[in-house]
Amino acid sequence: MNTDVIKSNIEASLITWLKKIPVISFYAGTRGWFYLISWSHRITGILLVISLWAYLYGFHALQASQKLFILALLLWILAIPMAFHGFNGARLILYECFGNRNDDAMIRSVFALSFIYVIVFGMLMLMGNQMVSPFLYWVIMFAQALVVAYGVATRILKSRHSVLWKMQRISGSFLLVMVPAYFLFIPLNPSPEIEANFLITGIQGLFLMAVYILLLLSALFHAGYGVWSVMSDYLASRNLGKGLAALVTFITLIFAWIGLLATLSV
């Protein structure tokens, strides 16, 4: 079986299909496919920011009603932009910070990994409880996330970049493992996910709470800096930029407070 032929046939069919959409065809022809992928990264990022804020705002309501089919379906749909944004972010970090220029292979990996993740996530949602130990699960995921974040941090920490730029990359690499893990954990656990973890008391409970707080703060920082970065592209006025930075910081702090209160009150 010639896998190269199959691969090129799949790609050719997909590209032909995508080119039937006028806006995609236009930008692919005049700016290139990576331009479209960059826009997809932005759009999925903004979608995830809105989802994060909405999730934190309706934290308790969502927990109480999460068995509803429609919410499960929405969660599964949300996993698609989440997986794409995460894996594409990893591709950008590899390109910009690790000198990996094999972008064609990397973008294939982004789509392949996103596809696999979304399918596995859907299967786990259908199967339901797998009786996974919350503590063990999060120890493994947290350790993996730390390894990835440490690898990126050692690469960029001594560089001349701004602290915020570095934190964006480090938080992104941490979230690359932690957010998909957070999504996966929901169908793995029989009870509402957060509550189930904090039923465990003592050191295990404290560890889980610390993991969730770190995840919350990383996600909020990554979201806030991402929003500000996109807005900065379209602002000529420095004062307006500073004003918007202050506004984004304020909104991020409010949601951090809401998230912390919700996490600590469980």
Site for another protein, rule CB under 8 A: 26, 29-32, 34-35, 37-39, 41-42, 92, 95-99, 101, 103, 159-162, 165, 229, 232-236, 241
Q: Which is nearer to another protein, 46 or 209 (CB)?
A: 46
Q: Which is nearer to another protein, 27 or 57 (CB)?
A: 27
Residue 75: CB minimum distance to another protein, A: 28
Residue 217: CB minimum distance to another protein, A: 22
Residue 173: exposure state from Cβ atoms within 10 A (0-12, 13-18, ≥19): buried
Q: Output the six-digit token pair for 211.
A: 């993991």
Q: Which is nearer to another protein, 63 or 229 (CB)?
A: 229
Q: Which is nearer to another protein, 7 or 31 (CB)?
A: 31
Q: Which is nearer to another protein, 231 or 258 (CB)?
A: 231
Residue 246: CB minimum distance to another protein, A: 15
Measured in Å, how far apart are the chain's first and last C-alpha atoms? 54
The 8 Å CB, 24+ separation contacts for 168-172 are 168/221, 168/222, 168/225, 168/226, 168/229, 169/93, 169/97, 171/218, 171/219, 171/221, 171/222, 172/89, 172/90, 172/93, 172/222
> Contact 145/158 with Cβ under 8 angstroms?
no
Residue 190: CB minimum distance to another protein, A: 42
> Contact 226/53 with Cβ under 8 angstroms?
no
Residue 100: CB minimum distance to another protein, A: 10
